[in-house]
């Protein structure tokens, strides 16, 4: 089979054993790779209802048929598991040499279950896995872990590691690579920690077998060239995602003061133009010619990498208008292996709770020293930090009072950096995202604000589904970066051509979207299976603040969502997906998608 390695590596850390299995050809065609393969593996192998921190939970590292090939931005890899933060499906997509190396081993996915007796690393090569001692690495920050592992396994090794946050099972601990690529927001780093798995190290020596290598090479270089000629290319390389700060501010959707406001007085001081004035270099993922990781020197004169989400959540959302200090917090989070988005939410939630007098600790917006200590307290589990490390949903349950009103999450995953008082489409995208409130699957807000925000119509529901099919489907199952398409408008029509030259299989975009729908419905079935009687359509509703608590200034002043109209829009979304009134895929839908076993 061209295009796939055709093998899955199954590792049991409890038994210190691994076996190699053939990839089921039917699964490859139906789920393609990356996220698709990950959810199929979890569905088939995970006993329903397991505790995410039990040895039975499964971690999946997977790539797709386009990963690591000589085509634009193909160095991405999916990490997936049952999330300890949401108790549902959780995944993330990381740009890393590990993606390219995994592809070279000929494994399409590595599935890890069990729990090692002591800290270990998993070393994956062409023949299988070795489980190596990592006691000397336990307790170290991710930067140091990667440095030491590179010394031991060579500069070319792909490495994903966890920091102290993952070891201590902080529910939003993530996985870090290359000192500033991070993924697995819903606590995937904590699941690694629960298995005593400090790092995943991978080195392959093969070349992915593709159907038409010449065509692939030609298409790849044409597409790379097209990217260089795009009008937005130079600006993108200068600012990357950081340009979004000014954009969000101008539309009143920049999360500020725990999503209470949509504009921030200090936006210029944390924006892309200012960032350019202090930028020292840039970094990125493999195989990419539009690298976007902005490196600046932080308030302690160390190098830190900045992206929009990090800066909005650790800047405006906590009232901090000093980019070097924001960069310092970002570096702290990368070293600890803590998701910056959830961290910015947890800090904002704590400051607002302090302001409202529902916790004893005294904290103020933008108080850098206090915030820095708070981050350390979260990692150490001290004081209010021991509650905040549970994520804002559970923290609000512990703190009580009316704090659920300002706990910004969907299904337990904290909201990423778009305030949605005035954008029902983006609110729907957050609410129906397959992992909780993340913008990965449908960043509909850019399209929505150019049409005046506001409405709840069918066109918006269609757009959310279309974006979910492309962003949450196609880019996640091919497992390549979506930003060439999103940011410089590389045409989607390249992807069926890449896929055909890689696999020899002709699939139209429409046929690919059926694969996306299959993956979406299986992820949905996974949530329903795991949450069982706790499942309800209320889980597809965005945070109460957007319905009740309008911003007091800026372009979105006085706007809020309408609950009744939102619920009508949600029902329309369900009908279009072939799900029932509670958001469960119907039997007919599952049959149509060829996954009736999950009905």
Residues that bind ligand PTT (CB under 6 A): 76, 92-95, 174, 180-185, 241, 285, 305, 307-310, 333-334, 338-341, 440, 475-476, 481-483
**DSSP SS3 for 396:** helix
What does 59-117 look like in DSSP terms, one character per residue? EEEE--TTTTSSSTT--EEEEEEE-TTTSSEEEEEEESHHHHHHHHHTEEEEEEES--S
> Which residue, 89 or 485, has its beta carbon nearer to ligand SF4?
485
Select the binding partner of residue 307 from ligand SF4, ligand PTT, none (C-beta < 5 to 8 A, by kind).
ligand PTT
The reply on whether position 290 binds ligand SF4 by CB under 6 A is yes
Strand 7-12 versus strand 17-22 pairing type: antiparallel
Of 286, 311, 307, residue with least CA distance to 295: 307
Q: How far is the CB of 175 from ligand SF4 (least distance, A)?
A: 15
Q: Which is nearer to ligand SF4, 229 or 534 (CB)?
A: 229
CB of 513 to ligand PTT, least distance (A): 16
| Distance of alpha carbon 135 from alpha carbon 5, whole angstroms | 33
Residue 8, beta-bridge partner list? 21, 109
Residue placing its CB nearer to ligand PTT in the complex, 71 or 561: 71
Give whichever of 174 and 387 is closer to ligand PTT, judged by the CB atom.
Answer: 174
**Smallest gap, in angstroms, from Cβ of residue 227 to ligand SF4?**
10
Q: Is 342 helix (H, G, I), strand (E, B) or coil?
A: helix
- The nearest distance, CB 441 to ligand SF4, in angstroms, is 16
| Binding status of residue 505 toward ligand SF4 by CB under 6 A | no
Strand partners, 173: 338
Looking at 154-243, list the stretches that DSSP marks H as alpha helix, in order from N- to C-terminal side: 164-167, 188-194, 213-228, 233-239
527 binds, among ligand PTT, ligand SF4, none (CB under 5 to 8 A by kind): none
**Residue 288 sits in the site that holds ligand SF4 (CB under 6 A):** yes
Least spacing, CB of residue 293 vs ligand SF4, in Å: 6
Single out the residue of 170, 285, 333, 417 in contact with ligand SF4 (rule: CB under 6 A).
285
Q: Whole-angstrom Cα distance, residue 33 to residue 566?
A: 34
* Pairing between β-strand 7-12 and β-strand 158-161 as defined by DSSP bridges: unpaired
CB of 272 to ligand SF4, least distance (A): 15
405 Cβ neighbours under 8 A, 6+ residues apart: 544, 545, 548, 549
Interacting partner of 291 out of ligand PTT, ligand SF4, none (Cβ under 5 to 8 A depending on kind): ligand SF4
- Provide the minimum distance between the beta carbon of 538 and ligand PTT in the complex, in angstroms, as a whole number: 25
Q: Is 179 in the site for ligand SF4 (CB under 6 A)?
A: no
Which one of 33, 52, 90, 95 is in contact with ligand SF4 (CB under 6 A)? 95
- Residue 226 burial (10 A CB sphere; 0-12, 13-18, 19+): middle
Q: 27: part of which helix (H) or strand (E)?
A: helix 25-31
Q: In the complex, which residues of this chain contact ligand SF4 (CB under 6 A)?
A: 73, 95, 284-285, 288, 290-293, 481, 483
């Amino acid at each position: 089979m061209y295009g796939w390695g055709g093998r899955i590596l199954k590792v049991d850390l409890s038994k210190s054993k691994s076996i190699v299995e053939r990839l089921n050809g039917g699964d490859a065609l139906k789920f393609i790779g990356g996220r698709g393969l990950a959810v199929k593996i979890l569905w088939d192998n995970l006993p329903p209802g397991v505790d995410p921190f039990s040895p039975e939970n499964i971690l999946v590292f997977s790539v797709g048929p386009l990963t690591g090939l000589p085509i634009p931005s193909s160095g991405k890899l999916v990490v997936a598991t049952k999330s300890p933060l949401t108790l549902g499906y959780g995944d993330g997509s990381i740009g890393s040499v590990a993606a390219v190396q995994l592809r070279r081993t000929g494994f399409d996915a590595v599935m890890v279950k069990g729990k090692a007796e002591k800290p270990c690393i998993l070393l994956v090569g062409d023949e299988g896995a070795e489980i190596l001692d990592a006691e000397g690495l336990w307790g170290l920050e991710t930067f140091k872990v990667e440095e030491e592992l590179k010394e031991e396994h060579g500069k070319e090794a792909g490495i994903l590691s966890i920091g102290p946050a993952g070891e201590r099972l902080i529910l939003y601990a993530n996985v870090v690579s290359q000192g500033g690529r991070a993924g697995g927001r819903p606590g995937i780093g904590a699941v690694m920690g629960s298995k005593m798995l400090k790092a995943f190290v991978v080195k392959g020596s093969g070349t992915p077998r593709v159907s038409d290598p010449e065509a692939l090479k030609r298409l790849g270089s044409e597409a790379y060239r097209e990217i260089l000629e795009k009008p937005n290319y130079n600006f993108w390389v200068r600012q990357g995602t950081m340009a979004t700060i000014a954009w969000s501010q101008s539309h009143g959707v920049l999360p500020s003061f725990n999503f209470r406001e949509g504009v921030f007085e200090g936006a210029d001081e944390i924006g892309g133009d200012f960032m350019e004035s202090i930028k020292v270099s840039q970094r990125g993922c493999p195989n990419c010619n539009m690298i976007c990781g902005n490196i600046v020197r932080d308030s302690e004169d160390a190098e830190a990498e900045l992206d929009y989400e990090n800066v909005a959540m650790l800047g405006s959302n906590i009232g901090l208008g000093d980019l070097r200090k924001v960069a310092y917090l970002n570096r702290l989070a990368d070293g600890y292996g803590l998701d910056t988005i959830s961290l910015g939410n947890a800090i904002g939630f704590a400051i607002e709770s302090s302001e409202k007098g529902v916790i004893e600790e005294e904290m103020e917006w933008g108080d850098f020293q206090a915030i820095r200590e708070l981050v350390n307290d979260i990692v150490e589990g001290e004081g209010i930090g021991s509650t905040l490390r549970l994520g804002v949903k559970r923290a609000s349950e512990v703190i009580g009072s009316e704090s659920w009103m300002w706990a910004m999450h969907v299904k337990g995953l904290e909201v990423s950096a778009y305030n949605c008082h005035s954008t029902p489409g983006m609110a729907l995208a957050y609410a129906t995202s397959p992992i909780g409130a993340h913008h990965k699957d449908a960043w509909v807000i850019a399209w929505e604000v150019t049409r005046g925000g506001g409405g709840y119509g069918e066109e918006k529901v269609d757009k959310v589904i279309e974006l979910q099919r492309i962003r949450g489907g196609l880019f996640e199952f091919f497992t390549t970066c979506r930003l060439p398409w999103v940011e410089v408008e590389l045409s989607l029509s390249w992807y069926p051509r890449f896929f055909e030259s890689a696999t020899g299989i002709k699939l139209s975009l429409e046929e690919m979207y059926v694969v996306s729908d299959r993956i979406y419905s299986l992820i949905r079935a996974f949530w329903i299976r795991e949450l069982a009687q706790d499942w309800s359509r209320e889980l597809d509703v965005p945070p109460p603040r957007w319905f009740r608590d309008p911003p007091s200034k800026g372009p979105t002043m006085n706007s809020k969502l309408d609950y009744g109209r939102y619920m009508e829009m949600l029902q329309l979304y369900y009908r279009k997906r072939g799900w029932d009134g509670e958001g469960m895929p119907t039997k007919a839908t599952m049959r149509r998608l060829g996954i009736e076993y999950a009905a």
